[in-house]
Amino acid sequence: MTQPLSRRQTIQILSKHVRFILALPLAPFFSSCLQSPFAQSMTERPKGETMNQASSPGVLDPYRLPRHVVPIRYDLRLEPDLTSASFAGQETITVRVHRPTSDIVLNAIELDISSATIEGESGSARKAAIVLDGTLQRCHLTFTEPVTAGNWRLTIIFSGTLNDKLRGFYRSTYKDENGATHNMAATQFEATDARRAFPCWDEPDFKAVFATTLVIDPTLTAVSNSTIASETREGGKKAVCFADTMKMSTYLVAFIVGRIEPTEPTMVGQTPLRLWAVPGKEHLARFGQDIAAASLSFFEKYYGIPYPGDKLDLLAIPDFASGAMENLGAITYRETALLVDQQSATHGELERVADVVAHENAHMWFGDLVTMSWWNGLWLNEAFATFMEMMAVDAWKPEWKRWDSFGVSRAAAYSVDGLQSTRPIEYPVQAPKDADAMFDVLTYEKGASVLRMLEQHIGPTIFRDGVRDYLHAHAYGNADTNDLWVSLGKIAKQPVPELMNGWIFQPGFPLVTATVSSSSELTIRQQRFSYLSDEQSRPSPDQRWQIPLQMRVTASGKASTSRMLLTEKDTIVPLPHDWESILLNEGGHGFYRVRYAPDLLDRLLNDGIDRLAATERFNLISDAWATTVAGLMPLRDYLDLTARFTVERDKNVWAVLLDSFSFLNRIVTAKDRPALEAFVRGRVGRAVEDLGWAPRSGESEGTKQLRGELIGAQGKLGNDPAIQSRATELYQAYRQDAASVDPNVVPALVAILAHTGDVTRYDEFNACFLSASTPQEERRYLFSLAAFQPKALLTRTLTCTISGEIRTQDAPFLVSAILGSVYGRELAWAFVKTNWEKMDQLFPKQGLRRMCGGIVNLATPTLERDVREFFASRQIDLGGKTLEQYLEHLRIMVNVRERDGAVLRQYLKNFQ
């Protein structure tokens, strides 16, 4: 799965807040309609009662199904009615019974099950008594006589509702060009919602073959995981029968029914690849199709295994809770993550589509072909797909320098992993809701960062060969984290588990402190990084990591690189007598922060920061800001340091600087805000002037993006009237001729005009949102409605979030954005408190969780107290450690305000 917003967008929303940084061709395909379930011959791992901890004798795990009955094949028939938002279903599950039993237990929830019968090879059917357990989401089938060991056919008849909660089998709606509303049906099953669509063994290691038939209105189209084997008429309906899938997990099954249209297929080897959208949006599919074809081909070569499905469809769904979902052969997306107009999109919007498409394609092998045994291994799926998405996009567009901007993702992971309430990447998962909370930056970004560190440490070719070994060894099956380390260790001939376990199974990450103890000895100390600076609250001082460290020492003008593995608390490194400067984490691939003793930092800066690579400058300023927030570097020193970056022209480095300024904007008093604005203008002004408003020939995509970011910052955070007035002129020109303004500048214009806008502008932008011609434009104008200052306008926006006018896939993020606005946060918080029950009932679970992320911006002692009281009194649980993390973030912001508020005020006096 992909998160609903891009990393960048997530960071922006999370941290208008946090930004402490800133802010084998293998299985054959059968014709499902013809095959006898007893002809099942695919190899499978026998699921005895010893398969997992859940079935250890005498231990009952309420979240794991018994293992004595195992599904082999599902023949599914579903008949969705889009008008009444309901569906009827019938399934025949071929099961293998390992020992005689009178009870069969499988998962089901929110389904009406009218009948269940079982039939053996002898043919006579036996009826089961059915009991549903809503709490454990199970269906118990009891037979009067034991079912003997062997293969059986279990037939269940059921019905359900196409819900509006964007999970299970759900309804999505859209308006056509004439304003008429149409319904469609789509699915989202990960982690545990297949059980909402059909009774099943809904755990990832119960892999089976799926043969689906969708019975639909003949005017509609149906897509599922495999190619269409046949289409027949049944009375007034059309029965679309899909070919057998490969053996796979329930969470990867998908059905999409509606008025949707495909592009012409691109052939990638033997695989036809198409994009699908609702009518009228097909012209936005070209870019997505190009990266889909390029990445599919890249992965076939990288993995050394052909794509495991028989076709690949990528479908844009108007209502979609996450970013995208890797259903084998039928990947579903929210529209902004797949459909894009190359002419009018910003570089960031194009990169987002490329990233998500490559990510989902990477999953076809890593996740779909080889699947985690249980949800504790989710990180491996997601971290790996995130890592591979970078590899594929970097290979496709090397000029984008994708690994450079990956630094921003790494820093996002640090911001959560620096909390005491962080968690290890992998941890035991029992309840499914704990798995839901795993879809976060620690799983995706920290996971991908440590994989990148390992890849750089053992070498890219060895890493790739280890991955190939792993995929070949576990194809069509399930595997655990250690299985990957075993494969990588075997190829690398190195103790990979020993190296990696510290990064995966313990929380947090190291801060590496460099001091020169004598003129020729460098001491490198590792300790766990923490934002909270009082000694008592510092976590486990003895925590250690095996840190692959790359260091560059300049002596007599010549630089030399050395590599080492830090395993102890302190490591002493001899230095040449004529050393001039030292840089740790050369290349920037290590997952640790660096703190230099003041004299070391001075030498590095005096050596010239322009001699550092962009990723090294990024790390330098990002680490400096993080240690400032942690109270390890004086705020005054950090603010002075930012003055050295007025000549900086790298967008990622600037992202750190701007995010730190946004952070200060959240803790500064209203009285001091004009001085902060003057400070920002002083830091940003030179670069804005230098870059101008229009691209120059030969300019990189990164520079174009930077221009937009800086103009936006100068107009909003800097509150620069000249910039605001020029933005107004340019926006008018843009409305008359969209081609007259570089697409990368347009979001800045919209944001500045909202920032300074009145009710007329609000109505105009609202109209633009409703009539937008691309998903990106729609999103831009929608989020602009959170960026106005007048309270009456922000109240209008908040009201829309629960009135049904805004899709529930977007509404919680809009609330979060207003929580992040210094002009709207009190208002938004009062709104959340008043309307909590309604939001809880209306918004998808993960949306609600993300919305609550906005509370970290309520950075005053009074608001913080109120936030804590509210969540405690309602006993709200957002899953995992999510709420604890938000509250700690908030504590840290308030802590900086209390600790450094006076210093900041004093410093800003020079800028009034």
For Zn ion, the closer of residues 382 and 616 by Cβ is 382
Q: Is 121 exposed, middle or buried (0-12, 13-18, 19+ CB in 10 A)?
A: exposed
Segment 250-289, which members bind Zn ion (CB under 5 A)? none
Which helix H or strand E contains 558, and what residues bound it?
strand 558-566
Contacts of 853 (CB under 8 A, 6+ apart): 13, 14, 17, 816, 886
Minimum CB separation of residue 575 from Zn ion in Å reads 44
Contacts of 696 (CB under 8 A, 6+ apart): none
Q: How far apart are CA 862 and CA 377, in angstroms?
A: 40
For Zn ion, the closer of residues 364 and 667 by Cβ is 364
- Count the residues of the shown chain that bind Zn ion, applying the rule CB under 5 A: 3
Minimum CB separation of residue 325 from Zn ion in Å reads 8
Output the CA–CA distances (angstroms, integers) from residue 759 to 521, 751, 754, in the order listed. Answer: 64, 15, 10
- Could you confirm whether 764 is annotated as catalytic? no
DSSP secondary structure string, 174-212?
A: EE-TTS-EEEEEEEE-TTTTGGGTS-B--STT--BEEEE
List beta partners, residue 215: 239
Minimum CB separation of residue 372 from Zn ion in Å reads 12
Q: Give the single-character DSSP code of 377.
A: G
Could you give the maximum distance between any two Cα atoms of the chain, in Å?
Answer: 91
- Do residues 365 and 246 lie in contact, with contact meaning Cβ atoms separated by under 8 Å? no
Minimum CB separation of residue 361 from Zn ion in Å reads 10
**Radius of gyration, CA atoms only, the chain:** 28
Segment 728-787, which members bind Zn ion (CB under 5 A)? none
Minimum CB separation of residue 481 from Zn ion in Å reads 16
Six-digit token pair at 113?
Answer: 């099950």
For Zn ion, the closer of residues 385 and 392 by Cβ is 385
Catalytic residue among 91, 326, 335, 360: 360
For Zn ion, the closer of residues 193 and 382 by Cβ is 382
Minimum CB separation of residue 386 from Zn ion in Å reads 7
For Zn ion, the closer of residues 382 and 426 by Cβ is 382
Question: Residue with CB nearest Zn ion?
Answer: 385
- Do residues 424 and 506 lie in contact, with contact meaning Cβ atoms separated by under 8 Å? yes
SS3 226: coil
Minimum CB separation of residue 385 from Zn ion in Å reads 4
Under rule CB under 5 A, residue 1 binds Zn ion: yes
Q: How far apart are CA 827 and CA 67, in angstroms?
A: 52
Q: Residue written as tokens 């790494």?
A: 410
End-to-end CA distance of the chain: 48
For Zn ion, the closer of residues 385 and 496 by Cβ is 385
Q: How far apart are CA 162 and CA 87, in angstroms?
A: 7
Minimum CB separation of residue 748 from Zn ion in Å reads 30
Minimum CB separation of residue 781 from Zn ion in Å reads 28
For Zn ion, the closer of residues 358 and 814 by Cβ is 358
Q: Give the single-character DSSP code of 28.
A: P
For Zn ion, the closer of residues 372 and 887 by Cβ is 372
Under rule CB under 5 A, residue 106 binds Zn ion: no
- Do residues 814 and 782 lie in contact, with contact meaning Cβ atoms separated by under 8 Å? yes
For Zn ion, the closer of residues 392 and 839 by Cβ is 392
Q: How far apart are CA 168 and CA 176, in angstroms?
A: 25
Segment 361-420, which members bind Zn ion (CB under 5 A)? 382, 385
Segment 441-470, which members bind Zn ion (CB under 5 A)? none
Q: Which among 182, 139, 129 has a CA at the least distance from the CA of 160?
A: 139
DSSP secondary structure string, 125-168?
A: EEE-EEEEETTTTEEEEEEEEEEPSEEEEEEEEEEEE-BSSSSE
Q: How far apart are CA 677 and CA 723, in angstroms?
A: 13
Catalytic residues: 360
Give the residues lining the site for Zn ion (CB under 5 A). 1, 382, 385
